[in-house]
Amino acid sequence: MAITLIRSLTSSVIRNVSTLKRDAKRLQKHSALVFGTEFPLKVCQHAVAVSRGFRSLAEVEKLGQRLGMDKQAPFWKILGRNDTHQSVLNALYRLNLEYTENGPVVFTGEQHHSILPALVLFLEQMSLMNLPGLILVETEASTVQDTLIFDAVQQLGMEELLEGFRSLDLRESNLPVALSTSARCWVDAINNVLPPELDTALQRIGWGNRLEVAAHENAKSRSQVHDSGNFPVIPFYSVNEAAYRIAPQFSWPAWAGDDASKQAPTSPEESSKIAKDTVFDLIRALKERNFSLGVASEHESRWRPYIVFFSRNDQVSEVLAGVVHSYFSWRPSRDQCPPILYVSDSSIPYAPRMLRYGGNTAVVNGVDKIPEVDDFGAFYGYKQALKVVGTETGLQFMGTRASMDWNQDLGVG
């Protein structure tokens, strides 16, 4: 009843504000006839606003923005909520549950109990910050309509909003976008899908540091370093070239200057043949995918939210997911970090190592409890994770339980 009353009052105010603006335009059109001189639209709007009981035109504009009448607002700005959305949001308010940079928010329990509140948390944060966010989906499903995410989107009535996202299936061989990122993020994305023991061995011999510097120097020698706001991005081509140049004897190619060689540590050790084969099999697999032509995702992701699909069984797709993830984690400043939602619909929980300590990230992957850092499929961010328990009746967080009446709509028991 209260929600219905609020919606009715909001609709009434919106109509009144719209009428005020129309009347101001009509008055401005005939101002010469009424006042004997023609006045600009701003003056007429101010006059009508005062005549309707407002203190100023600025007060009307502020009210219009709060009601979602600002035409400059991004398309993901939430202008209305259905009953399911409002019920979940009320529960989140009661729990005081929000994104944090101190650690990821991890929803434990079965995914279908947590996906709806996690999605509402994500959408509300994106709307509040006016920043495009990222949804990472680890799945074997072939389309978004076959995933848990879409079921939750339907319950919220947000299908049209989801259509505005850039949807990328990174398991495909050919992508309609150009993916590039910083040399450091390229190396991280590759290392994060390698077995932990191999990643450790490569760190010990300084291979990653050498690859990072050599790849950046390669791109700089061909004028392909694009720096936009302290985030210099390079294409994968430079990473591929540098990897093969420094691999045999960790020697520096001719186009890398003396200063570059001093930036990376030297080591007399060499990686084993198995390690090299594993790394270069992955690099060759990346080279076989087409993701260098099309819309520049690094630029587009600054104004458009992304939803990307990858699989733990496809290392290349996970590397590319790490590249997209860097746009929303490494690139933004600390005060402008957009929300990230990671969802895995498998019965075996999985968390990619690309996920960070906090990074304004929510995780829904079916874990029963927060894993130890050394457990299989764990990422280091679990160490500082905030645990939320999803159940059939609602959520539990920090010793408080909040019930939600949305299970019937989801078809949950």
CATH number at residue 395: 3.40.50
Q: Are residues 297 and 175 in the same domain?
A: yes
Q: Indicate whether 380 and 303 sit together in one domain.
A: yes
pLDDT for 408: 41
Query: What is the per-residue pLDDT for 412?
Result: 37
Is residue 71, in this structure, part of any structural domain at all? no
Q: What is the pLDDT of residues 46-85, one digit of tens each?
A: 888 888 777 777 776 666 665 555 556 788 988 778 889 9
Last residue of a domain, one of 260, 288, 316: 288
Residues 6+ apart with CB under 8 A from 80: 7, 68
- Total domains in the chain come to 3
283 with 312, same domain? no
In a domain, 73, yes or no: no
Considering the domain boundaries, does residue 399 fall inside one? yes
Give me the pLDDT at residue 64, please: 65
Domain boundary pick from 288, 307, 332: 288
From first to last of its 413 residues, what are the pLDDT tens digits of the chain?
A: 444 555 555 556 666 677 777 888 888 888 888 888 888 888 888 888 888 777 777 776 666 665 555 556 788 988 778 889 989 999 999 999 999 888 899 999 999 999 999 999 999 999 999 999 999 999 999 999 999 999 999 999 999 999 999 999 999 999 999 999 999 999 999 999 998 888 888 887 788 888 999 999 999 988 888 877 788 999 999 999 998 887 664 444 555 555 555 555 544 444 466 677 888 899 999 999 999 999 999 999 999 999 999 999 999 999 999 999 999 998 888 778 899 999 999 989 888 988 876 678 999 999 988 887 666 656 777 888 899 999 888 999 999 999 886 544 443 33
Supply the pLDDT for residue 133.
95
- Indicate if 305 and 171 belong to the same structural domain: yes
Is 166 among the domain residues? Answer: yes
Query: Does residue 75 sit within a domain?
Result: no
**Could you give the 3-state DSSP secondary structure of residue 214?**
helix
The predicted structure's pLDDT at residue 373 = 65
Of 288, 311, 344, at which residue does a domain stop?
Answer: 288
User: Do 297 and 172 lie in a common domain?
Assistant: yes
Domain membership flag for residue 252:
yes
If asked whether residues 41 and 89 sit together in one domain, one would say no
Q: Give the C-alpha separation, 324 to 318, whole Å.
A: 10
Tell me, yes or no, whether 105 and 16 share the same domain: no
Same domain, 140 and 278: no
- Both structure tokens of 286: 């990346």
Q: Tell me, yes or no, whether 328 and 395 share the same domain.
A: yes
Given CA atoms 16, 19, 23, 29 in this order, what sign does their dihedral have?
positive
Contacts of residue 66, Cβ cutoff 8 Å, sequence gap at least 6: none
Please indicate, yes or no, if residue 12 is contained in any of the structural domains: yes
Domain span at 35: 2-66
Long-range (24+ apart) CB contacts under 8 A made by 5-9 are: 7/80
Residue 170's closest CA among 335, 325, 401? 325
What are the distances in angstroms from CA 352 to CA 175, 239, 388? 22, 22, 19
Bridge partner residues of 395 (DSSP): 390, 402
Please, which residues bridge with residue 296 across strands? 178
Domain membership flag for residue 214: yes
Do 215 and 251 fall into the same domain?
yes
- 278-282 contacts: CB < 8 A, separation 24 or more? 278/194, 278/195, 278/198, 279/190, 279/194, 279/198, 279/202, 279/207, 279/243, 280/243, 280/244, 280/247, 282/190, 282/193, 282/194, 282/315, 282/316, 282/319
Helix axes 2-29, 41-51, angle to 10 degrees: 130
Instruction: Write out 16-34 in H/E/C secondary structure.
Output: HHHHHHHHHHHHHHCHHHH
- Please tell me whether residues 267 and 204 are part of one structural domain: yes
Record the pTM.
0.78
Are 155 and 240 found together in one domain?
no
